[in-house]
Amino acid sequence: MSHDKADKAADARGGLFDSVAGKAKEVAGAVTGKDDLVEEGQLQQAEAQHRKAAVADEALADAKRHAAADELRETSHEAAAEKEAAHDEADLAQRAVNREQAQEREAAERAAAQQEAVDRRAAEQRAENLAESRLDDAQALSADAATTEQQAAADRARLEREAAAAEQHAAQLREQTRSQG
């Protein structure tokens, strides 16, 4: 870049020299009455003016290019910083989502465990109620069987008494029939 600056400085000095030399030729031609020298001086001044304008345009273009490069660098830095901030924000949001999911999973597991405990207690209560009902049924059947057994024993004793009485009565009737006959 310092080489470019040196070239531009040399061009500027050359343009200044050409402008001064052109003015000198114009004045000398006017003083001596040589129109061609006046014209040559004016052309040299116009050329110096064009060179000066070109150097100024080039300097302006260089300044704009440098400004654009600086702006591009700054924009790139800002974009990189924004990208990093967005990445950090996304990481933070992902960690928050992960925490929330873990909390929801833990809550669901606790709820499932609580529901399982409630269901287990309900099943145990139903089983206990069924066992008590079956025990009550068995006790009722046992009581009915005991009552039936007592009834059967009483009926048997009665029937045995009736049978003994009937046999005794039959023996008496046989005895009477034999003694009458």
Q: For 85-130, what is each residue's pLDDT tens digit?
A: 999 999 999 999 999 999 999 999 999 999 999 999 999 999 999 9
Provide the residue ranges of all domains of the chain, joining segments of one domain with +: 2-180
Q: Please check whether residue 30 is in contact with residue 41, taking contact to mean a CB–CB distance below 8 angstroms.
A: no
Q: Cα 21–45–62 angle (5° rounding)?
A: 110
Query: Is residue 102 helix, strand or coil?
Result: helix
Q: For 51-86, what is each residue's pLDDT tens digit?
A: 888 888 888 898 999 999 999 999 999 999 999 999
CB-based contacts of 35, cutoff 8 Å, min separation 6:
29
Q: How far is CA 42 from the centre of its chain?
A: 78
